[in-house]
Structure 1
Amino acid sequence: MDKWLDMLRCQHNYLLADRFDWWEMNRCPVNACPLVCSIAEPRKKPEYYSQKRSLVSLKQEREWYSDIHADVLQDMVKRVDLAFARFIKGDKNGKRSGKPRFKGKNRYRTFAYQRVKPDCIQGNQVTLPKLGEVKFIQHRPVPEGFVIKRALVTKKADGWYVTLTLEDKSVPEQPVVEVEPTEANSIGVDAGLEYFIACSDGTTKQPPKFYRQSEDKLVKLQAKRDARGKGSKSRRKLNERIAKLHQRIARQRKQWHFETAQELIDKADVILVEDLKISNMSRRNKPKQGEDGTFLPNGQSAKSGLNKSFADAGIAGFLNEILPYKAAKAGRLVVKVNPAGTSQHCANCLNRVPKELSDRWHECPHCGASMPRDVNSGILIKKVGLGIRLTIKRESGATRRRSPRRTA
């Protein structure tokens, strides 16, 4: 299986390079080319089916590729096509991904069988085409009535995993949850770093910071690893220990996210959260240049620590993946609201109360409300989700105050 992954990685990089070569030479029309450029050789555009047909000649020229199952090779071509299509055209929403990177050694970790036999599991063994019977630890039995359709084999830090895709045509599609948010059945949730979640009912939960807890151990292991010679056996073993520690941190965080999502689901039928763009919040600061051309301090050193805390908390994965998944499975509804103004207003009187990022306590001079800043935001998120819109009311002078306005 290690040999398969290495051969698939090499062919993946070759097909991706072929696409890049054609795209660089043919992405603009002839009458729009610069005066100084190389002349492209006339050839057809490499596409999914043309690269798929090239697998026949590949097996003839390099006989060792015949050892890999045909479905596995074809799935590799499909991965190249999807990665390049997301880069050029974007997904169904028009959002484009970054430029696909060539896979380095040990960076290609999964291969897929598009078809496996329905009875591939016998006892504690799973039968994979061209690999034979492989012993495995079964996580849970396959439910009755389900048919095994597909298998993915993945290499992780602590061993190999096989993921099976099941099908049962009698199971209906997941229904769309239609719940009308009300004051009684909804809860507002503000996600952050001081409190991972701050709810409109006043409850809070602090992030456990799994990465920060293991950071000292990681530093020691990485220092020992760097002292070993490249390619040595001791260096490889230390790399395995570092990878297992990272895997443990990720699993701890994911388990904690699932438990937190279940707590929110048990509280309300509708969960109102902010539509946050974590990628924008963790973006690097722009460089500052002086008049003489030298670069000035831009605060990136402090921002790097903040970005590490964002990654350690995993807010994006919790709000965009785990919480919606758990809510849909339980018949609950997750609604994202516009976060504009939810930290600069009073949740009681809705007047504007400006605060800096370092101000972690909300004190309203208008109504006297006093509470943690994140709890105030959680109450405001619930009110915005229920239809209260915060608008700007311009007054004389440079002062501005927000006043409440209900929408029909």
Structure 2
Amino acid sequence: MRTSYQYRIKPTKEQAEKIDSTLEKLRYQYNYLLAQRFDWYEQNRCSIDRCPLICHIPELREQPNYYNQKASLTQLKVDRPWYKSIHSQVLQEVPKKVEITFDRWLKGDINGKKSGRPRFKGKGQYKTFTYPQFKRQHFDNSKITLSKIGDVKVIVHRQVPDGFDIKTVSVTKKADGYYVTLSLDDKTVPTIKPDFKADNIVGIDVGLIDFIVTSDNDRISAPKFFRKAESKLKSVQRRVSRRKKGSNRRKKAIKQLGRQHKKVADTRKDFHFKIALSLLDKYDVVAVEKLNIKGLSKTRLAKSINDAGWGQFISILSNKAENAGLKVIAVNPNGTSLECSSCGHKVKKPLSQRMHNCPVCHASLCRDLNAAINIKNRGAHGLKAQVMSGLGVIEKPSLTRRGVWEYVTLQ
């Protein structure tokens, strides 16, 4: 079983300077290795059969990859001796990070989803470095020993479970201080297998007025953490704008602004964890809409959508359900607010109309509750299809006269 614990550390002034210096040196190397890849890509991305008749073909060079860029670090320490102050394995993590970033841009991740063009990191934007190997005896209840940095005071707010080994340690600089993240592993603890009751299912409809509305008509209003803190954030942002660029007073104001934003983000994340826990304590299967949140965040409701943090909530809910052996199933969101949950008739209505009134079956209920019931029904059908496909039975969905989807077994 693999899990992660994060603790706050209290480095001395000298240790904090070493951490900051390490981050800056790693940032320089990250930008240099990324520039190497861009340079090779720009000169060699055109296929030879697609070149114009008259063109300049550059000298072919070896393509930069993780292994040859990692091997170049030996010469780097000869040319720039100050890189000897960084642990060798920490430095080797930089070409690995460049490899992952570049491949996500050109090839995509395991799901085939591509990221945007990698960017060079400006001053202060490289915030984490990792020790890929760590010994358990270098961590106790009061301090953690970090190579090339020293013994750093750590605030252990929860103990590491017995039997878990520390695989990696990551040091992160945030707006309010420094943190270490321990990646823990215990192979004797089995992974929890899915063991849920398919009938104990709920559908949730996320929104901006009510954060979620369940198919059981439970409502949780949207907390709007950013909206509530907006006046304070504006005041601090105004203070940053008034300060002279490059001055110490401006740096202090930027740190204060970062702490305020982090407080809003932490409060929102804590709220998401609590809502996810309450849902998984009550239900075994949670059906949610597979929303295009990136597209929705480009509309005129962008600020409210980002404030709600639907993507983070669904991610937390999915991870917690998987760890508990429960299930989160995503359904197609098209028409969940228009279709009648009783008869399936589509009732067109503007976003301002908050009640669903069906002219066919005369059902009258809240628009969000109607959507949540439709999400639950779609989730139940999708879950049944997954179970039947796992048993080797092929089923074909068909629409009944009442407009409800059912599955017919194919012979």
TM-score of the superposition, structure 1-length normalised?
Answer: 0.88
For the residue of structure 2 that corresponds to 1:276, the secondary structure is coil
Alignment of 1:179 with 2:179, yes or no, is: no
Q: 2:236 aligns with which of 206, 218, 221?
A: 221
Closer, same or farther in 2 for the Cα pair 1:392/1:241, shift >3 Å? farther
For residue 153 of structure 1, report the CA deviation from its aligned partner: 0.2
Residue 309 in 1 paired to residue 324 in 2?
no
Instruction: After TM superposition, give the deviation of residue 13 of structure 1 in Å.
Output: 0.3
Alignment of 1:387 onto 2:387:
no
Query: What is the distance in 1 between the residues matched to 2:267 and 2:50?
Result: 54
Equivalent position of 1:251 in the other structure:
266
- CA distance in 1 between partners of 2:303 and 2:161 (Å): 41
Counterpart in the other structure of 2:145? 127
Which residue number in structure 2 is paired with residue 104 of structure 1?
Answer: 122
1:31 to 2:49 alignment: yes
The correspondence of residues 4-403 of structure 1 with structure 2, limited to 5 A, is 4-34=22-52, 38-175=56-193, 177-179=194-196, 181-182=198-199, 185-283=200-298, 303-304=299-300, 306-319=301-314, 321-387=315-381, 403=403
**RMSD of the alignment, in Å?**
1.9
- For 1:181 and 1:37, how far apart are their aligned partners in 2? 64
Counterpart AA for 1:159: G
Distance 1:168 1:384 in 2: 38
5+ long unaligned stretches in structure 1: 284-302, 394-401
Offset at residue 391 of structure 1 (A): 5.4
CA distance in 2: counterparts of 1:248 and 1:79, whole angstroms: 28
Query: 1:322 is aligned with what amino acid?
Result: I
Cα displacement string for residues 72-101 of structure 1 (whole angstroms, at most 9, x for unaligned residues) = 110111000100011111112211111111
Change (3 A) 1:145 1:403: closer
What is the distance in 2 between the residues matched to 1:267 and 1:122? Answer: 37
Q: Give the Cα separation in 2 of the matches to 1:132 and 1:49.
A: 30
CA contact (8 A) 1:341 1:390 kept: no
- Counterparts of 1:55 and 1:279, CA distance in 2: 38
C-alpha distance 368-118 of structure 1, shift in aligned 2 (>3 A): same
Letter of the 1:181 partner, please give it.
A
Rate the CA distance shift 1:36–1:147 in 2: closer, same or farther, 3 A. same
The letter of the residue matching 1:333 is K
For residues 407 and 195 of structure 2, the distance between their equivalents in structure 1, rounded to whole angstroms, comes to 21
SS of equivalent to 1:90: coil
Instruction: Name the CA distance, whole Å, in 2 between partners of 1:390 and 1:155.
Output: 54
Contact 2:169 2:183 in 1 (8 A): yes
8 Å CA contact 2:339, 2:346 repeated in 1: yes
Deviating more after overlay: 337-346 vs 3-12: 337-346
Q: Give the number of equivalent residue pairs.
A: 376
Q: How many Å apart are 1:59 and its aligned residue? A: 0.4
User: Against the structure 1 CA distance between its residues 224 and 390, is the aligned structure 2 distance closer, same or farther, given a 3 Å change threshold?
Assistant: farther
CA offsets, 1:202-240, max 9 Å, x none?
111111000011111111111111111001111111101
DSSP-derived class of the 2:137 partner: coil
* Partner of residue 299, structure 1: none
CA displacement at 1:103 relative to structure 2: 0.4
Shift of 1:27: 0.9
Aligned-partner Cα distance in 2 for 1:142–1:206: 36
- Aligned equivalent of 1:406: 406
Alpha carbons of 1:20 and 1:385: their partners in 2 closer, same or farther (altered >3 Å)? Answer: same
Deviating more after overlay: 362-371 vs 82-91: 362-371
Distance of 2:209 and 2:54 partners within structure 1: 56
Aligned to 2:9: none
Q: Is the 8 A contact 1:275 1:336 kept in 2?
A: yes
- Does the 8 Å contact 1:194/1:207 carry over to 2? yes
Bigger relative contact order, structure 1 or 2, given CA contacts below 8 A and separation 6+? 2
Contact 2:399–2:406 at 8 Å: present in 1 too?
no
Identity across matched positions, percent: 47
| Aligned-partner residue type, residue 198 of structure 2 | P
Give the superposition deviation at 1:365.
Answer: 1.6
CA distance in 1: counterparts of 2:276 and 2:367, whole angstroms = 22
Question: Aligned partners of 2:257, 2:56: CA distance in 1, in Å?
Answer: 46
Q: Which runs of 5+ in 2 are unaligned?
A: 1-18, 383-396
**TM-score with structure 2 length normalisation?**
0.87
Q: For 1:333 and 1:145, locate their aligned partners in 2 and report how far apart those are by CA, in whole Å.
A: 28
Partner AA of 2:236 in structure 1 = L
CA distance, structure 1, for counterparts of residue 210 and residue 380 of structure 2:
23
